[in-house]
Amino acid sequence: MFSTRPSSFAPGRPVRSSHETASSEIAGDEKMSGQDRCDLIVVGGGVAGSATAATMARAGARVLVLERDTAFRDRVRGEWLAPWGVGEARRLGLLDTFARAGAHELPALAGRSLKPRSSRSPEGDAPLTFSHPALQEALLASAAEAGARVVRGAKVTSVGPREAVYATNGASHTATARLLVGADGRSSLARKALGKEERVHRAARLLAGVLVGGLSIDPSFGYFILDEEAGGVASLFPQSAEVSRAYVMVEGNDASPFAGKGGFERFIAAATAMGVPAEAFAGARQDGPLGSFVADDIWIETPAAPGLALIGDAAGISDPTWGMGLALGLRDARVLSQALIAERDWDAAVASYAAERDRYFAAVVAIENWESDLYFAHGAEADRRRKHAMRLWSKEPGRYPDLPGLGPLADTSEEARRRFYGEDVPMEVEAPVVVAMPAGDSRAVGQAFREALVARDFEALEQLLGPRMRTRMLLPTGAYELSGSGPTLDTFRGWFEHVDDFAPLSTSQDEVGDRLKMSWRFELRWPGELFLRVIEQNAYAKVVDGRIVVLDLLCSGFRPLEAAA
Ligand SMILES: Cc1cc2nc3c(=O)[nH]c(=O)nc-3n(C[C@H](O)[C@H](O)[C@H](O)COP(=O)(O)OP(=O)(O)OC[C@H]3O[C@@H](n4cnc5c(N)ncnc54)[C@H](O)[C@@H]3O)c2cc1C
């Protein structure tokens, strides 16, 4: 943790509130009780506000937190903290508070291939999941333990530099301090009080989320599945073996499909249509409100003025699709607190915080916008750009910025942008792939299918799949059902496209009545692994008009062979 210099806290202006003793007030601390002065008023006891309050109170500042809610409830907010945000929590000395809130390590996420991929920061931190209301309670309790005075049920009605007017139990109070920190979230009053122009970047997408209980899942990995065709994302972040936060992101701003009776069932259907295995939702139960939000970026430049600083969502909201809001809020808490602790002149301190905030918020949003632009644009040209970039990423993974691991330290230079899009490499001219195949001849389809698989020619493979095909797979991780050729093709890509030392050991086919029986065994190496793996798959296919319309597949899994010498 950074060093603290309590001596820099000159006495603040008086707090003119009568000292509330409502039962909603977290037990008054010894430092504040009986005093009528404070250094810092924090409006809002969310993650950003209470992390700042705890840090400043630990450093010896007299802190007053005004929080509207007497008890926190599920507001459908972030419950996945990116690895770089875990580093921020550690630097703030708040990781034990996350543990107290029941935080769970989620070291891997599976994409379309359904194969979990590890996600850690260069420091080795894995993402954390938790209940947002539980985390808010724990952080606010930490602030109170550190000596902050926390008033719950305090609705702030007006704010200005160094001053807040708030109501508790119908009575109005005015509090003043050296600095007012606006941490009052998405619809911030403090943001309006600052009077700066609000910047908005419209995403034309909607993010719906709900807490799902009653599950029976492996809590060591979640899902984050991008579906470019649907222009959306489906995700599932386990908090335990039974409870997960689930999100579906769709195009447009129509929340009605997820509203009212049947909204939860339609939500689950949308998530499974985008590729989350239906099995993951077996026994699913709605455990909280289903909320929908437009996925905009909304921010103000330089979110501070003398006597007033904004942090967290109050300062700027980044598109929640990419899950960076909590990490940003924790960084705000750290950067602002460090500046206040280091600098006697708090007006200078908030100015330096705000300038730095502009830089790191812009860096995070820039990368999010590259990703959104590339993944969610439609049309043939967008498809070509996407394929081109993805091909290059698979050869050179460093082209893809590690936003979850590095946050704003990821490279956002023009060169990095060009490398992300692959603009530094000429696009391959796509020759149309034509697969000659007698209609109705399932043997020819089997032959072409195995050849395409061996050549890992996924364009040719796609030609053999019926657009509305249904695939059932029995894998070591469970049974899965996919509808449409896209998810099936993506699954084969996920398995075989980005592996090294790929070598076919055998393939064969036969006919069983009206079913085509195919079998293949491959040897390969996962990138970064020293040893080889072998995999065998057996499939029964129904072929109609030269395309596979039903595929039932049994898989051995990627079995490790002996370690390479
Ligand atoms: C659907 C969705 C999914 C998300 N998913 C993720 C994710 O996976 N990962 C991630 O990192 N981020 C995610 N985010 C973003 C993340 O939730 C926010 O960035 C974060 O919660 C902001 O914290 P905050 O403390 O700034 O604001 P808030 O959490 O909104 O806290 C503000 C507090 O201020 C209080 N308050 C407001 N007005 C007043 C008032 N007038 N008087 C007194 N008190 C007041 C409120 O009661 C509240 O407690 C998501 C957001 C949404 C909407």
Q: Give the model's pLDDT for residue 201.
A: 86
Handedness of CA 436, 442, 446, 449 (dihedral sign): positive
Q: Give me the DSSP letters along 410-470.
A: S--SHHHHHHHHTTTSPPPP-PPP-----TT-HHHHHHHHHHHHHHT-HHHHHHTEEEEEE
Ligand 1 centre from 224 Cα, in Å?
21
With beta carbons less than 8 A apart as the criterion, state whether 67 and 155 touch.
no
Average pLDDT on 42-49 reads 98
In degrees, rounded to 5, the angle at the alpha carbon of residue 330 between the alpha carbons of residues 313 and 409 is 100
Asked if residue 40 lies in contact with residue 181, where contact means CB atoms within 8 angstroms, the answer is yes
Distance 48 CA to ligand 1 centre (A): 8
pLDDT at 17 (0 to 100): 33
9: Cβ contacts below 8 Å, ≥ 6 apart: 39, 59, 60, 61, 62
* The predicted structure's pLDDT at residue 476: 86
Q: What is the mean pLDDT of residues 471-490?
A: 88
Residue 432 has pLDDT above 60, yes or no: no
173 closest CA partner among 18, 405, 8: 18
Burial class (CB in 10 A: 0-12, 13-18, 19+), 271: buried
Cα 387 to the chain's mean position, in Å?
A: 23
Question: What region, left, alpha or beta, does residue 440 occupy, with left being phi > 0 and alpha being psi -120 to 50 degrees?
Answer: left
The answer to whether residue 19 scores a pLDDT higher than 60 is no
Give the binding-site residues of ligand 1, using a 6 Å CB cut-off: 43-49, 66-69, 76-81, 154-156, 183-186, 189, 207, 209, 293, 312-314, 320, 323-327, 329
98-119 residue pLDDT tens = 999 999 999 999 998 888 999 8
pLDDT at residue 357 greater than cutoff 50? yes
Tell the burial category of 243 from Cβ atoms under 10 Å away from its Cβ (0-12, 13-18, 19+): buried
Provide, rounded to the nearest whole percent, the portion of the chain with pLDDT above 90.
Answer: 69
pLDDT digits (tens, 9 = 90+) for 151-161: 999 999 999 99
Residue 243 confidence (pLDDT) above 50: yes
3-state secondary structure of 500: strand
pLDDT in tens, 57-87: 999 999 999 999 999 999 999 999 999 999 9
pLDDT band at 440 (very low <50, low <70, confident <90, very high): low
Contact 412/366 with Cβ under 8 angstroms? yes
Ligand 1 atom nearest residue 209's Cα: 1
Residue 468's pLDDT is what?
A: 85
Inter-residue contact 139 to 47 (CB < 8 Å): yes
CA 493–ligand 1 middle distance (angstroms): 37
Tell me, what amino acid is at 320?
A: P
CA of 543 to the centre of ligand 1 (A): 51
Residue ID of nearest Cα to ligand 1 atom 19: 325
The per-residue DSSP string of 224-247 comes to EEEETTTTEEEEEEESSSS-EEEE
Alpha-helical segments (H) within 105-261: 132-145, 189-194
* Beta carbons within 8 Å of 429's beta carbon, 6+ residues apart: none
Q: How far apart are CA 315 and CA 312, in angstroms?
A: 6
In the reported structure, the alpha carbon of residue 22 is separated from the centroid of ligand 1 by a whole-number distance in angstroms of 25
- Give the pairing of strands 304-305 and 465-475: unpaired
In this structure, the residue with its CA closest to atom 11 of ligand 1 is 326
**Mutational test site, ligand 1, from 184, 253, 298, 319, max ligand atoms within 8 Å of CB:** 184
548-563 pLDDT per residue, tens? 999 999 999 999 886 5
CA of 329 to the centre of ligand 1 (A): 9
The number of the ligand 1 atom at minimal distance from the alpha carbon of 154 is: 43
Which residue owns the Cα nearest ligand 1 atom 22?
313
- The residue length of the chain stands at 565
Of the candidates 84, 101, 85, 105, which has an alpha carbon nearest to the alpha carbon of residue 139? Answer: 101
